[in-house]
Chain A
Amino acid sequence: MQAGTTAAKTLLEVQDLRIVYKQKTTFPAADQTVYAVNGVSFSIRQGESFAIVGRSGCGKTSIAMSALGFVKPSAGAISFMGKNIWQLGRKNLRRLRPLIQPVFQDYGNSLNPRMTVNKIIIEALRAQPNDQTHTDAVKQLLDSVGLDSEIRLRFPHQLSGGQKQRINIARALALNPKLLILDEPVSSQDLSAGVQLIELLNRLKQTYELSYLLISHNLSIVRLLSDRIAIMKNGVFTEQGPAETLLQHPSDNHTKELIDASNLTNLSKTGQV
């Protein structure tokens, strides 16, 4: 893995991020406070894939939402290409946003049910200056995520789960992003589909010069895609490091448990891919 090259620029830098959810109930006065992320630091360099792995509810999505500018951190800093995104102001944040694109965990709900695939992607294309005619660009994008261009005229409810996910990816690519945040890219799919998706993501990374922030609860999937991995538990990273080192010499019990758990799902053989 070539990610170790120190020359590459830092793309995303997260420092001591803390996220607290306060649920206000006026009556009865029982405000609930959830400490979702409790001091997390990491950075992603250009061209690198960084993965966050942890059990359900440990705060992975919250980190992603914060990096996307949706959930305000209660403390800490998130900078993208040297700019603290939470101090940019609304207008500048909007300009920056196309560069960080999400593929949400619940990708089925990420497509406006009233828009055709064509409209969805063209809307993204319009947000960027683009010399191609839109229809060609749409066809090309669909092709690059492995979808038939005939799908263009369908509405989201006429698509399968996997197709919706790929549309999400295509829409993200339309904006020429630098960083793609993939929240549980392979959670509900069967094994072979998962492997196919991973191959696709690896290929896209090369062609579009992308960096990835991967989020998953499954180590064995993540190892195929990532250069560095962080293990997360209860809102903190218990361990982070280069993928192979971390998997072969885990220093933390929790990491070992996660490795065992992913072996149990019998995915280890995909390691040969």
Chain B
Amino acid sequence: MISIILKRALDSVPTIIIGITLTFLIVHLAPGDPGIRFLDPSQSTEIQQIIQKRFGLNEPLHIQYWNWVKRVLFHFDFGNSFYNGKPSSEALRSALLPTILLAGCALVFALITGILLGILAATRSNTFTDRTITIIMMLFFSTPAFWLGIMFLGVFSIQLGWLPSSHLTSLYHDQLNTIGRFTDYIQHLFLPVLTLGLPLAATFFRYIRSGVIEALRSDYILGARARGISHNKILFRYCLKNSLLPIISLLGVIIPALLSGAVIVEVIFSLPGMGRTMVSAVFGRDYPIILAASTLAFFAVVAGNLIADITYSIIDPRIRYQTRKNS
């Protein structure tokens, strides 16, 4: 088991290296010079060169790359933001919490909603209830997060004024007691989590519904039923377990999707997370921040894949000793 984990971890090294190198190239070869942004055009090229030198942009690309790698590996130093001069790692650390909160809550919400509705629809398959839920879920499945977010924002925050429209906390957050802070978080996260979670819930719903329906029809469940095992036990013990498997294998795809979705949601709801940091860094050509955020994102994705693989091989012993090729 441990050797499997190690092997898979080693497998993901090239993904990370290639991903980061590619990001580095994209960023540094892109048209536009971050040095120029701080200058007015009348100033001499000398000053421009000074700024380039300060950012380390005057050296050949491979040397810049090598310096960057060295600093990251040996000092865990991603360089300082071009904007405020603070270390990128610090900027990211503070951006991590909102994103993790958002993505985690959305995942949990999506799992619960998807599973419950999936089972409900499957047990009533082809009835009015099933059709209604399925159609609604199809709608959410096809709705872009940004549109959902804007609609929620418009209706619940702006029109009705029920929920805050931006940021993770209120201005007076620090003055609240524990319960107050908790509700403050919930109020701020409610719409973003819904926005990110609903389309995901719809994805889960599709898998669970068809999985449970198929399982309910299988000979093996019919046999269990014939032996007089209770309905609920059949549903949760047998059917659900079988239909959860594809979802776990999906985890590897879900984590990149969550990260991508978080970018949109954070921008809409002005949450100070990774995605928003990334977008403003792209707009502002803040190379160190872009690189640090991408590195982190690649690690998150790779870690997610690893966790998915491991969970899967624990739950389904059939694939434990097989290669991925055969499965």
Name the residue of chain B whose CB is nearest to the CB of A30. Answer: B321
Bound CA span A26–B321, Å: 11
User: Which residues of B from 1 to 42 have beta carbons under 8 Å from A?
Assistant: 3-4, 7
Which of B3, B4, B323 is within 8 Å of A26, CB to CB? B323
List chain B residues, Cβ under 8 A from A30.
321
List chain A residues, Cβ under 8 A from B321.
28, 30
List chain B residues, Cβ under 8 A from A28.
3-4, 321
Name the residue of chain A whose CB is nearest to the CB of B320. Answer: A28
Bound CA span A27–B313, Å: 14
Bound CA span A30–B322, Å: 10
List chain A residues, Cβ under 8 A from B325.
26
Is A206 in the interface zone, CB < 8 Å from B? no
User: Which residues of A from 27 to 69 have beta carbons under 8 Å from B?
Assistant: 27-28, 30
Chain A at the B interface: SS class: loop
Count of chain B residues with Cβ under 8 Å from any Cβ of A? Answer: 8
Is A92 in the interface zone, CB < 8 Å from B? no
A29 to chain B, nearest CB (A): 10
Is A25 in the interface zone, CB < 8 Å from B? yes
Bound CA span A30–B323, Å: 11
Which of B3, B4, B323 is within 8 Å of A25, CB to CB? B323
Name the residue of chain B whose CB is nearest to the CB of A25. Answer: B323
Bound CA span A30–B326, Å: 14
Bound CA span A28–B3, Å: 9
List chain A residues, Cβ under 8 A from B4.
27-28
Name the residue of chain B whose CB is nearest to the CB of A28. Answer: B321
Bound CA span A25–B320, Å: 13
Bound CA span A92–B223, Å: 57
B173 to chain A, nearest CB (A): 49
Name the residue of chain A whose CB is nearest to the CB of B322. Answer: A25
List chain A residues, Cβ under 8 A from B323.
25-27
User: Which residues of A from 53 to 108 have beta carbons under 8 Å from B?
Assistant: none
B11 to chain A, nearest CB (A): 9
Bound CA span A28–B321, Å: 7
List chain A residues, Cβ under 8 A from B7.
27
List chain B residues, Cβ under 8 A from A27.
4, 7, 323
List chain B residues, Cβ under 8 A from A25.
322-323, 326
Bound CA span A25–B323, Å: 7
What string of 1s and 0s marks CB contacts (under 8 Å) between B293-327 and chain A?
A: 00000000000000000000000000001110110
A84 to chain B, nearest CB (A): 33
Name the residue of chain B whose CB is nearest to the CB of A26. Answer: B323
Bound CA span A26–B324, Å: 10
User: Which residues of A from 1 to 45 have beta carbons under 8 Å from B?
Assistant: 25-28, 30
Bound CA span A26–B322, Å: 9
Bound CA span A27–B326, Å: 11
Bound CA span A150–B89, Å: 77
Bound CA span A30–B3, Å: 14
A170 to chain B, nearest CB (A): 37
Bound CA span A25–B326, Å: 9
B3 to chain A, nearest CB (A): 8
Bound CA span A243–B325, Å: 46
A213 to chain B, nearest CB (A): 33
Bound CA span A30–B320, Å: 13
Q: Interface centre among A26, A27, A28, A30, by most B CB within 10 Å?
A: A27
B262 to chain A, nearest CB (A): 33
B227 to chain A, nearest CB (A): 34
- The 9 nearest A-B residue pairs measured at CB: A25-B323, A27-B323, A26-B323, A27-B7, A28-B321, A25-B322, A28-B3, A26-B325, A27-B4
Residues on B lying within 8 angstroms of A by beta carbon are 3-4, 7, 321-323, 325-326
Can you sample 12 A-B contacts with CB below 8 Å?
A25-B322, A25-B323, A25-B326, A26-B323, A26-B325, A27-B4, A27-B7, A27-B323, A28-B3, A28-B4, A28-B321, A30-B321
Residues on A lying within 8 angstroms of B by beta carbon are 25-28, 30
Q: Name 4 extra pairs, CB < 8 A, besides A27-B7, A27-B323.
A: A25-B326, A26-B325, A27-B4, A30-B321
